[in-house]
């Protein structure tokens, strides 16, 4: 955020700045994909992350904008994110297969080469779907909807209160939600994927609310949240590839890819066990240590501070 936004900034002004900046970033990256192409994996990844950040801002400021405009732009971002996500997932899975899962598989084996061909076909279809969104009308539509959303921001009621009030309320609700989700996910694998969504919302929300807190607190919080996402992402990538292999195996004439399926299942189970052990042994405690000062109300250095107390008069 810009330096003009701080803890005492009226909430409606902070909402306008965050939404305008993050939605403009999505539009700019959409233009870049149209102009430069979608074959660069890092370019598609950055575009997808931009849609996630903008969606997080929409969720944060939902109560301050017109719901009809909110719903329209939310649907637009969701479609873009899903189409970019299909391409991004295929890029990740191809890298895993080419790498042989760190030496545990032979990339030149028949199973791996067959699966790589299947993933490349999926990526081609995903790129075609994403390319259909990369026209001038898509960008213009997004920008029109952004303008209407920004014009609908309410400046009365909660919109006039300091930005830090919203930040504290949001953290106060989001941290218990994350702890509960991760507690369940570390004991029940079925609860793992809902917990990933909660973790993503926390990370992007903290980025948006950063002006309300001291930089050192924000840096520590984002490092912790990124570490959590990386641990969960490893499990998710392996499980997704395992499901793709299982589906492809059912469609093969010989009916199986036994070595690849078994290796992926074992790697996914190991990654999940590492995540669960980390959360129970240190992750949960680190969360309290990192976010405790933020919940206590540490404010950014540029926040207005009360004037110093006058010196007592000298003794007679």
Burial of 103 (0-12, 13-18, 19+ CB in 10 A): exposed
Q: Please name the residues in contact with 2: beta carbons below 8 A apart, sequence gap of 6 or more.
A: 17
197 against 159, higher pLDDT: 197
Q: What would the pLDDT profile of 22-73 be if each residue is shown by its tens digit?
A: 999 999 999 999 899 898 889 999 999 999 999 999 999 998 899 999 999 9
Q: Is residue 311 over pLDDT 50?
A: no
For the segment 10-19, the average pLDDT, to the nearest whole number, is: 93
Q: What's the pLDDT at 145?
A: 96
The mean pLDDT of 270-291, rounded to a whole number, is 95
pLDDT score recorded for residue 254: 58
pLDDT for position 252: 66
Q: Which two tokens stand for residue 16?
A: 């306008």
- Give the residue ranges of DSSP H helices in 40-135: 41-60, 67-103, 110-131
Confidence of residue 297 (pLDDT cuts 50, 70, 90): low
- Identify the pLDDT of residue 136: 78
Tell me, what's the pLDDT at 190? 94
Beta carbons within 8 Å of 229's beta carbon, 6+ residues apart: 196, 199, 200, 203
Token output for 149: 């959303």
Q: CB count, 10 Å around CB of 261?
A: 17
| Tokens at 286, concatenated | 């680190």
Check residue 6 and report its DSSP letter: -
Per-domain boundaries in the chain: 1-152, 162-299
Q: How far from 188 is each of 24, 121, 134, 184, CA to CA, in Å?
A: 39, 34, 40, 6
User: Which H or E run includes 107?
Assistant: none
Query: Looking at residue 253, what is its pLDDT?
Result: 56
DSSP secondary structure letters along 230-278: HHHHHHHHHHHHHHHHHHHHHHSTT---HHHHHHHHHHHHHHHHHHHHH
- The tens digit of pLDDT for each residue in 95-113 reads 999 888 877 788 888 888 8
Round to whole Å and give the CA distance between 83 and 135. 15
């Amino acid at each position: 955020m810009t330096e003009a936004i701080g803890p005492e900034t009226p909430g409606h002004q902070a909402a306008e700045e965050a939404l305008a900046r993050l939605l403009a970033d999505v539009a700019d990256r959409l233009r870049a994909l149209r102009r430069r192409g979608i074959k660069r994996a890092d370019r598609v990844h950055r575009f997808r992350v931009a849609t996630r950040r903008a969606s997080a801002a929409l969720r944060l400021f939902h109560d301050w904008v017109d719901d009809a405009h909110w719903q329209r732009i939310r649907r637009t971002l969701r479609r873009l994110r899903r189409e970019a996500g299909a391409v991004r997932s295929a890029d990740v899975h191809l890298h895993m297969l080419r790498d042989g899962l760190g030496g545990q598989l032979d990339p030149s084996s028949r199973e791996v080469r067959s699966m790589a061909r299947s993933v490349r076909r999926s990526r081609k279809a995903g790129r075609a779907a994403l390319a259909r969104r990369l026209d001038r009308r898509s960008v213009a539509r997004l920008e029109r909807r952004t303008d209407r959303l920004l014009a609908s921001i309410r400046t009365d009621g909660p919109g006039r209160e300091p930005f830090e009030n919203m930040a504290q309320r949001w953290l106060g609700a989001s941290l218990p939600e994350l702890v509960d989700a991760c507690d369940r996910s570390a004991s029940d694998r079925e609860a793992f994927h809902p917990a990933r969504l909660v973790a993503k919302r926390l990370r992007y929300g903290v980025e948006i609310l950063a002006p309300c807190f001291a930089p050192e607190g924000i840096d520590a919080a984002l490092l912790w949240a990124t570490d959590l996402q990386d641990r969960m992402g490893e499990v998710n990538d392996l499980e997704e590839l395992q499901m793709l292999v299982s589906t492809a195996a059912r469609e093969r004439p010989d009916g199986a890819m036994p070595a690849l399926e078994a290796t992926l299942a074992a790697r996914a189970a190991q990654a999940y066990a590492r995540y669960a052990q980390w959360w129970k042994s240190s992750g949960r405690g680190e969360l309290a240590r990192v976010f405790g000062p933020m919940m206590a109300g540490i404010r950014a250095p540029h926040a207005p501070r009360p004037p110093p107390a006058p010196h007592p008069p000298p003794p007679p």
